[in-house]
Structure 1
């Protein structure tokens, strides 16, 4: 009886083992039928090889400048950046220009050492929310792209000192949280679609340089004097038709460009802006036709460079204000004398 039991157990185990082998073989054959020629493993190996090749190519574009690791790509086609770029997270500056880049990758947050992100002259349409993770970022340059929206997360870039968003055309709004950029000194919003100077910009405590030229501004805020640190203000090619008198209280302002607007007058109080070194009112429909006194010979004028000739703007402003005051006083005198002339004599 014992011998029969042993034989029976061996037979059962053998049958079970053969069944498993057969099933495994069928599964393997089915997998091979479903897998395209070359196989998944082969495709994976090819993908790894391609990533390594791209990584080698990217490493060749890294240079050291002023002790900083810089990734520079120019005039090459890179509509997107590969994920393997994360392996170069020690890079401190990106300079990627004229590549057709359409999107800032979400893995940008991995570049915690990034100080400068310069993607000017591409096709970027969106600033990802992950940008807010770059707390060391000092410069973000996105001029000549297609950005339409600035996320509030950008305000988390607490070290940001320079932001350039010129020539994005459809950009017309900034989030209110933008005022939290306590270190921002340089802001370029020129050639966009702003109709007013955002209050969050006026509230920036350390802003020194602002370009809002080439927008659709019609007026300036009455509290523009809150921009106490501002020394340069570009407002050319807008539709501004009046200046608030509070502009005269901008004590640090030394450069003010107002050419090609719709101004018909200059506030008299601007005469007292002692720090204003350069101002330009060209191509405005000002009410008074003021001619500056000729103080130089033709030869001397020909020797001046263009910058020197532009300096007449401040002298023009002073002369315009004085002439406006003179005419106003003359008109007042005439008004006061008019009743005396109209008295009857019997």
Structure 2
């Protein structure tokens, strides 16, 4: 394409204006304008402003949400742009309403878009006045504001802001581009001006230009309608994902994987000594490689007993009781186990895993090969994370990963839509569940006791088949007003929290049969809830002297040195587990009674022998 000297001069001036942040009016759109509708704020397009604001200690400004769907969760100050309001004005207003501070935008940091209907502008800003919003000034905009050091535990509304904080801190320390603030220029459509600049080997600068002879005879940088670009991109992404899925299905159905598995097994056998090989054959005495492919197998139990004859006797007795079920079960028990047995990867026919009290820290990489797995029970181990691949276990019905060291749950777990029982108790760093778990519509038992939840996860209120919900021993201060969404709830455990009242909506759950609460701070309870003969309302009280001792012990533990932290966590896990087992045994004994005590006080007795 030939470019005249005049056109070259005009393009250079325009590019200089754009790169210096001065902006430039849009005259025509090269592609897509005839297919899009004019933009109308709050009707077919939404602009969002978000502020990333740091103080001198590099702490970031956070606000606690007041909206019902994310109540008491924390987020960056953000909100919608109103009609007739500039982006900078909207940012100042949102920060003032949600955090109580006056601010001045520094630069436009990022722009995020989800199609032409939703565009978010992320600014960095500095505080110029005002005071932090406190709980006494809580309103519908937010509950309070605070500075966050990004290291302490804080329940976030969404993890997307972590990347925004990272970019904001990077710019705060070392700005990588000049100050750029938006200009108010008239345009009826949401469009994108594409400035592609290349630097050649001889340090020459090249700029991509277009000449649309019909609509725009002059040379200019390309301007496109955003919805058209996104549509083209989404089609390509969809085709790429379909191609990846077909390739994955082809590999899974291919015989090459099974052949490779057989060869790996033979190679592994060559490395074993005679005694080890005989032991392996003992576990597989009725399972040849052909049997492995047809899932006709023998029982395989790994126990900590030293006497092999006792193992065989126990195995024989279990075979007599239920030979069909035992042949599909894996058992590992005892702290001598640091990892899974290598030969386990060839036993993909197993349907149940029962692993307890080991020192195993992570689940194996080949877990996804166990497509028949229905029960995965791994409590009281040292597991630090749940792999995202667990979402491929589509036949899973029971998952128990209590009393481990989880700090998060992968969203992919929501793909296990046949899951009926989920136990996550005693993972002390767990404070939120991903929204994707809302798809667990067959879940009837959810146990998230003894964690750090300050509010009920949103996904839990969307598990419509839930019958038992255990929220005990967390940091909850209230229950949401839409708890009656759980129309099939039978049992609710909320003791050892900070409740002063229970919401009236609990009386709307017609299936509710048992509620367990701590009565120490509870002052307001719906009459129908505690007086109905159909509901067993159980109040638990802590002994006052025991409570003082417990608090004093906690203060002493905080003063101990960091080198003993892990040992203390392991000791605390065992203690919490035993206490929970005692509570479950006591509460289950009340289920068969016609009436229950008005209150129950726990008394601890220690004996010196």
Figure out how many residues of one structure are paired with residues of the other and give that number: 250
8 A contact 1:236–1:261 mirrored in 2: no
Corresponding residue for 1:322?
none
Residue 126 and residue 45 in structure 1: after superposition, are their counterparts in 2 closer, same or farther (change >3 A)? closer
Residue 83 and residue 220 in structure 1: after superposition, are their counterparts in 2 closer, same or farther (change >3 A)? same
8 A contact 1:238–1:260 mirrored in 2: no
Q: How far does the alpha carbon of each residue in 1:17-67 deviate from its partner, in whole angstroms, 9 at most, with x for none? A: xxxxxxxxxxxxxxxxxxxxxxxxxxx879732795785576552766462
Distance in 1 separating the partners of 2:344 and 2:268: 19
2:484 matched to 1:217? no
Distance in 1 separating the partners of 2:526 and 2:448: 26
8 A contact 1:238–1:261 mirrored in 2: no
Corresponding residue for 2:486?
227
2:321 matched to 1:61? no
Distance in 1 separating the partners of 2:341 and 2:416: 24
Corresponding residue for 1:99?
358
Distance in 2 separating the partners of 1:259 and 1:166: 18
Distance in 1 separating the partners of 2:447 and 2:596: 23
Corresponding residue for 2:388?
129
8 A contact 2:394–2:415 mirrored in 1: yes
Corresponding residue for 1:140?
399
Residue 151 and residue 45 in structure 1: after superposition, are their counterparts in 2 closer, same or farther (change >3 A)? closer
Residue 116 and residue 61 in structure 1: after superposition, are their counterparts in 2 closer, same or farther (change >3 A)? same
Corresponding residue for 1:325?
none
Q: How far does the alpha carbon of each residue in 1:253-281 deviate from its partner, in whole angstroms, 9 at most, with x for none? A: 000001255211222353675631x1112
Distance in 2 separating the partners of 1:231 and 1:220: 16
Residue 56 and residue 215 in structure 1: after superposition, are their counterparts in 2 closer, same or farther (change >3 A)? farther
Residue 273 and residue 88 in structure 1: after superposition, are their counterparts in 2 closer, same or farther (change >3 A)? same
Distance in 1 separating the partners of 2:358 and 2:530: 49
2:548 matched to 1:283? no
Distance in 2 separating the partners of 1:145 and 1:218: 25
Q: How far does the alpha carbon of each residue in 1:148-170 deviate from its partner, in whole angstroms, 9 at most, with x for none? A: 11000001111110111111111
Distance in 2 separating the partners of 1:57 and 1:215: 47
2:266 matched to 1:266? no
2:480 matched to 1:195? no
Residue 259 and residue 54 in structure 1: after superposition, are their counterparts in 2 closer, same or farther (change >3 A)? farther
Distance in 1 separating the partners of 2:450 and 2:520: 14
Distance in 1 separating the partners of 2:271 and 2:515: 56
8 A contact 2:495–2:540 mirrored in 1: no
Corresponding residue for 1:49?
272
Q: Displacement of 1:83 after TM fit?
A: 4.3
Distance in 1 separating the partners of 2:333 and 2:523: 46
Distance in 2 separating the partners of 1:192 and 1:54: 41
Unaligned runs of 5+ in 2: 1-266, 285-299, 303-314, 543-588, 600-609
Unaligned runs of 5+ in 1: 1-43, 285-305, 315-346
Corresponding residue for 2:597?
312
Q: How far does the alpha carbon of each residue in 1:153-211 deviate from its partner, in whole angstroms, 9 at most, with x for none? A: 00111111011111111111000011101111111111111111112101101010111
Corresponding residue for 2:42?
none
Distance in 1 separating the partners of 2:426 and 2:532: 31
Residue 272 and residue 135 in structure 1: after superposition, are their counterparts in 2 closer, same or farther (change >3 A)? same
Residue 111 and residue 263 in structure 1: after superposition, are their counterparts in 2 closer, same or farther (change >3 A)? same
Corresponding residue for 1:72?
331
Residue 309 and residue 223 in structure 1: after superposition, are their counterparts in 2 closer, same or farther (change >3 A)? same
Corresponding residue for 1:21?
none
8 A contact 1:78–1:99 mirrored in 2: yes
8 A contact 2:373–2:393 mirrored in 1: yes
Q: Displacement of 1:219 after TM fit?
A: 0.2
8 A contact 1:280–1:310 mirrored in 2: no
Q: Supply the RMSD in Å over aligned alpha carbons.
A: 2.8
Q: How far does the alpha carbon of each residue in 1:213-262 deviate from its partner, in whole angstroms, 9 at most, with x for none? A: 11111000100011100100011111111211111111100000012552
The alignment partner of 1:256 has SS state of: strand
The alignment partner of 2:329 has SS state of: strand
Distance in 1 separating the partners of 2:508 and 2:404: 36
2:404 matched to 1:119? no
The alignment partner of 1:313 has SS state of: coil
Q: Displacement of 1:282 after TM fit?
A: 3.5
Distance in 1 separating the partners of 2:445 and 2:386: 19
8 A contact 2:331–2:354 mirrored in 1: yes
Residue 282 and residue 125 in structure 1: after superposition, are their counterparts in 2 closer, same or farther (change >3 A)? same
Instruction: Compare CA radii of gyration and give the structure with the larger one.
Output: 1
Distance in 2 separating the partners of 1:227 and 1:66: 39
Equivalent in 413, 426, 443 of residue 167 of structure 1: 426
Mean CA deviation greater in 210-219 or 77-86: 77-86
Distance in 2 separating the partners of 1:145 and 1:247: 32
Distance in 2 separating the partners of 1:309 and 1:274: 9
Q: TM-score, normalised by structure 1?
A: 0.66
Q: Displacement of 1:81 after TM fit?
A: 1.7
Corresponding residue for 1:6?
none
Distance in 1 separating the partners of 2:534 and 2:486: 15
